[in-house]
Amino acid sequence: MNNLLIDLRLRRSRSHWKNENIFQKPYIFLPIGGSDHWSLVIVSMPSKEDDFGPMMLHLDSLHSDFHRCHVSESIFNNVRSFLVEEWELLKKEGLPELPLAENIWNELSQRIGQKVLKVPQQTNGYDCGLFVLFFIERFINDVPERLKTQHLDMLQKEWFKPEEASELRSRIRDLLKQEFKEANVIPTTAV
């Protein structure tokens, strides 16, 4: 996907968190869509007591040495630009309390880390969206409130079986059926 297009999408997305300081959130989940594929970037924010900066993690269920729909380096560059732009806006607005350690905050543009995680891989050409949803669900359930470097080891190929992510389709279908039933709505097409 074109870098300019990614950058424009991130800028437009800003309206979703207007009046929010994203640096106070422990995690930011950014689904990345393009080239008929979905992957996920998770930005992990350190606590104020930590001596490291935010960490960008790229989770891609079709990422191998032979096949790449999304180029991690390009995505990281765009997300980094977005974070630095948000940082500049917040600095201009004057924060009542710094969300990160002062030395990290003052050097944020140089303190953003990045890592491509070798996560479970899909076994077909159409489950990438399910994998993104499953990555988010598992991350929320498995990772502590603030991610530390030692936690990254659990987010590898053995994190879960690929079939578990593919089974999410059935769980979503069953949930939708239940919701329709409880709302006394009959769907016009089969779910």
The Cα–Cα gap between 158 and 33 comes to 25
Of residues 58, 63, 127, 128, which has the active-site annotation? Answer: 128
Of residues 37, 58, 63, 70, which has the active-site annotation? Answer: 37
Q: Are 75 and 10 in contact (CB under 8 A)?
A: no
Please say if 69 is a catalytic residue. Answer: no
Contacts for 80 with CB less than 8 Å, ≥ 6 apart = 56, 109, 112, 114
- What DSSP designation does 18 have? T
Please say if 60 is a catalytic residue. Answer: yes
Of residues 60, 63, 70, 127, which has the active-site annotation? Answer: 60
- Which conformational region is residue 19 in: left (phi greater than 0), alpha (psi within -120 to 50 degrees), or beta? left
Residues with catalytic annotation?
A: 37, 60, 128
